[in-house]
Amino acid sequence: MNTNILYYGDNLEILRKYIPDNSIDLIYLDPPFNSKATYNILFKEPTGEPSQAQITAFEDTWHWGAEAEQTFQEIVDTAPANVIEMVRAFRSFIGRNDMMAYLVMMCIRLLELKRVLKGSGSIYLHCDPTASHYLKLVMDTVFGKAGFRSELIWCFTGREMNTQQWNKKHNTVFFYTKGNRWTFNWQVVAEEPAPEVVAQYKHTDEFGRRYVIRSKSGSKGLSKEGADTYRQYYKEVPPRDWKYIKFVSSSHERLPFPTQKPEELLERIIGASSNEGDIVLDPFCGCGTTLVVAHRLKRKWIGIDITHLAISTMKWRLEQMFPSIKYKVIGEPVDLAGAKELANQNKYQFQWWALSLIGGRPYGDKKKGADTGIDGYLYFIDEKDKVKKAIVQVKSGGVSVSQIRDLIGVVEREKAEMGIFLTLEPATKPMETEAVSQGFYKSPLGQDYPKMQILTIEELLKRKKLDIPSWVSPVQAPPLSKKREGKAVKML
């Protein structure tokens, strides 16, 4: 089975088509659900300020409709008897509504995740109070009550925003195993001493634990330091619960991605429940935190997501953090026929994918607003500390010279330096003539660039590049993570 691989598509279909039985060592999933909101990816501008353009990646509320009804019937026709009884009971008291749709969609996926998980494997389901009480029953039914190991509570801090009720300050992570034997690496955490004792416990070992050197004539120690001395560690005690894992908006690892989880959270899970060389699967991998941590900890990984926007984010993040990384992407178009198929299936997914080919970032949600003539931006820098932009339009249908004229008007209106026109169909001669007539953008560094550029998707698939100054990546991922100086590896 291939590993270090990203799959674009519905994770149910991907699991059934590509992932063999009993092949995965660890599964982490953070499935979306929020009945009153949609999850938006909010890109930051190169200045670091939040962008006003919100990109709806997917609506996380799954509605009861034909697909949910068909999935319910499939469970009734194929699932074990106890699972069938569970979903029937749920429907009898929940009814046919959004929550029930979510539960049947999750149930059939959890059945597939159990199939692909090794007998010695573990699964962690991350959720919030919206549906955690229902999901616990689904997990008990699918994996068995005997498979339940822990209910982990991740507490986090934040502003007290609600004065009418208790503020939401935790998520739940359910930990289950498939069999009676599983991997669990317990690692000791050395508590950080209070400031007044730091001067005394001034030495730090390779695990970040603080110690002093004592004489053998004194009390017994934990490890030898020399012939007549030993190390005495400061409070070397395993923690009884998870401490706060902070993830503030200014965190160096923020992309941002609304459902993004801190790397330290995944470090605990992956480090505890897998070993080097094991395979880690995240079927709702979003911006790829699970994959980043798995790669750093020398695990193999598989990520699945249903939007090209997420896949593009993961690619940028992985390549910035691990410049020499080798991985595959399955589900992206690799030729003109595949690009046309994607455009026919979903024009917004096609737009996001096309923008990723040039390193552009999407603009707005056109399904919910007026067409501004902007599909995306591409930012670049050609003089010190000054960020400039090109306006991008993406077309999947027929094209004409009037569209180039429209783009010229948008560039002027937005006071942008350049315009980029990406097209699935070949450009006409009048289009090319109109683009050339715009002349050049003259860089302060002395180089000229065509002010209006037309590239076909076929040219981009053949690795043709834009003629622009150094562009700014849409995702400013943190640098290759280094070992945290002065701290122990924090595990359970």
Q: Give yes or no: residues 17 and 97 share one domain.
A: yes
Q: Using 50, 70 and 90 to split pLDDT, how confident is the model at 153? A: confident
Q: Using 50, 70 and 90 to split pLDDT, how confident is the model at 241? A: very low
Q: Using 50, 70 and 90 to split pLDDT, how confident is the model at 197? A: low
pLDDT of residue 48: 58
Q: Give yes or no: residues 162 and 250 share one domain.
A: yes
Domain count for the chain, please give it: 3
Mean pLDDT across 2-31: 95
Choose the final residue of a domain: 279, 302, 330: 330
Q: Give yes or no: residues 180 and 275 share one domain.
A: yes
Q: Is residue 468 part of a domain?
A: no
Q: Give yes or no: residues 58 and 152 share one domain.
A: yes
Q: Give yes or no: residues 229 and 353 share one domain.
A: no
Choose the final residue of a domain: 315, 330, 345: 330
Beta pairing, strands 210-215 & 418-423: unpaired
Q: Using 50, 70 and 90 to split pLDDT, how confident is the model at 337? A: very high
Q: Give yes or no: residues 267 and 407 share one domain.
A: no
Please determine, for residue 344, whether its predicted confidence score (pLDDT) is greater than 90: yes
Tell me the pLDDT tens digit for each residue of 439-462. 999 998 889 999 999 999 999 999
- Bridge partners (DSSP) of residue 236 are 190
Q: Is residue 81 part of a domain?
A: yes
pLDDT of residue 418: 96
Q: Give yes or no: residues 215 and 269 share one domain.
A: no
Question: Per-residue b/e over 86-101, b at no fewer than 16 CB within 10 Å?
Answer: bbeebbeebeeeebbb
Q: Is residue 216 part of a domain?
A: yes
Choose the final residue of a domain: 330, 357, 379: 330
Q: What CATH number does residue 374 fall under?
A: 3.40.1350.10
Between the CA of residue 124 and those of 30, 110, 233, 265, 415, what are the distances in Å?
9, 11, 33, 12, 49
Q: Is residue 473 part of a domain?
A: no
Q: Give yes or no: residues 142 and 201 share one domain.
A: no
Q: Give yes or no: residues 143 and 15 share one domain.
A: yes
Q: Is residue 206 part of a domain?
A: yes
Tell me which residue range forms the domain holding 392.
336-461
Q: Using 50, 70 and 90 to split pLDDT, how confident is the model at 408? A: very high
Q: Which is more confident, 207 or 35?
A: 207
pLDDT of residue 256: 45
Q: Is residue 269 part of a domain?
A: yes
> Considering only 204-208, 229-233, 354-358, which range has the smallest mean pLDDT?
204-208
> Considering only 69-73, 123-127, 262-266, 412-416, which range has the smallest mean pLDDT?
262-266
Q: What CATH number does residue 134 fall under?
A: 3.40.50.150
| Integer Cα distance of 360 and 471 in angstroms | 9
Mean pLDDT across 357-361: 89
Q: Give yes or no: residues 381 and 308 share one domain.
A: no
Q: Is residue 485 part of a domain?
A: no
| Integer Cα distance of 389 and 379 in angstroms | 4
Mean pLDDT of the residues in the chain: 82
Beta pairing, strands 361-362 & 203-204: unpaired
Q: Which is more confident, 213 or 365?
A: 213
Q: Give yes or no: residues 72 and 210 share one domain.
A: no
Closest C-alpha among 328, 323, 321 to residue 300: 328
Between the CA of residue 318 and those of 162, 340, 478, what are the distances in Å?
37, 27, 10
Q: Using 50, 70 and 90 to split pLDDT, how confident is the model at 207? A: low
- At 407 the three-state DSSP class reads helix
Q: Is residue 470 part of a domain?
A: no
Please determine, for residue 234, whether its predicted confidence score (pLDDT) is greater than 90: no
Q: Give yes or no: residues 133 and 211 share one domain.
A: no
| Integer Cα distance of 190 and 211 in angstroms | 10
